[in-house]
Amino acid sequence: MKRVVLVSLLIFAIATLGFADDASFRHVRVPNLKGQHVKAVLIFSDGDKAVEVHPRKGPAVNIPYGQIDKVSYEYTTELTIGLTEAKNHWLKIDYHDQDAPKVALVLMDKHDYLHILDALKKHTGIDAEILGNADKRHEKLWPSNRK
């Protein structure tokens, strides 16, 4: 009986090692056709080898890792109607679907954007290009000596 349990545990351990480790982020938003930011889920799926964006309303976007051409990160600030400053962390994924170039924009949460950039590198092997004034802010929070 002990041998059966031991063999079962060994098979289970080996089987779980074969499954990919996906990363999921629930505090992101994507722009819709009306220019509004809709809640979404961003998934780095190693099983499907794709970045998946699932908006609460609207069609999902599935971007195979091999079709990603470039990824960039930008930190922006803008004045809102109430004259407060909105700080935004944007992830822009340039990719191609057959020969057609496409772009996916994701508004990342201020608490998750560093984790998302790490997951991007871990799952796709791609480092996001730092654009605009994000370089100064990014270097403070995420030094270039990270590995």
pLDDT score of 76 more than 60 = yes
Q: Global pTM?
A: 0.77
Task: For residue 68, give the nearest of 22, 125, 17 by alpha carbon.
Answer: 125
pLDDT score of 104 more than 80 = yes
Tell me what the mean pLDDT of segment 52-71 comes to: 96
Interior CA angle at 55 toward 51 and 59, to 5°?
Answer: 85
Which pLDDT tens digit goes with each residue over 16-34?
A: 444 458 999 999 999 998 8
